[in-house]
Amino acid sequence: MLCLLRDRNAHRRAAGALTAGLELDLDDGICHACLSFVAFALDAGEPREIARELRRVTVDLWDDGLDRQALASVEQACGLGLPNANQGLADLRERGGKSLLARAIVRRLAEELSARARNALRVEALARSRIPLEAAEMN
């Protein structure tokens, strides 16, 4: 993607901006167990660990079906005229799961998975706080 950009940080920012506008579905063939490695790294906040997990997991997710969803979404973005979508599509077709755009997509999905898990824990804690504790029954 954005092969014309010389600055890798600019490349990452452009990939992240494009990813924000993509129609992606966390539940469409994405292995949540695999994605959780990236989500845990994001939650820990260690940049090297995040980068390592993104590189490691993205290729596997791509090969397991993320490619279909990602390519369709970026093709749709091209039709909508989103900035850098055409370059992103070319990069995905050329580099697949090794592209920065594919990693940006996995990062976004991992952020969504992490937010979903945090929300579920909050709901569970709220529910538990409203349910009175009673002694267990002996059967």
Rounded to whole angstroms, the Cα distance separating 63 from 98 reads 11
What range does the domain containing 83 cover? 8-129
Q: Does the residue 104 lie in any domain?
A: yes
Q: Does the residue 116 lie in any domain?
A: yes
Which pLDDT belongs to residue 4? Answer: 44
Rounded to whole angstroms, the Cα distance separating 75 from 85 reads 8
Exposed, middle or buried, 137 (CB in 10 Å: 0-12/13-18/19+)?
A: exposed
Q: Does the residue 48 lie in any domain?
A: yes
Q: Which three-class secondary structure state does DSSP give residue 91? A: helix
Residue 84's nearest CA partner among 36, 28, 31, 18 is 18
Looking at the structure of the chain, the number of domains it has is 1
Q: Does the residue 134 lie in any domain?
A: no
Quote the longest CA-to-CA distance of the chain.
71
Which pLDDT belongs to residue 139? Answer: 63
Which pLDDT belongs to residue 69? Answer: 96
Q: Does the residue 3 lie in any domain?
A: no
Rounded to whole angstroms, the Cα distance separating 1 from 99 reads 7
Gyration radius of the chain's alpha carbons: 19
Q: Does the residue 60 lie in any domain?
A: yes
Mean pLDDT by 10 residues, the chain (139 residues): 59 88 93 96 96 96 95 96 94 95 96 92 81 68
Q: Does the residue 1 lie in any domain?
A: no
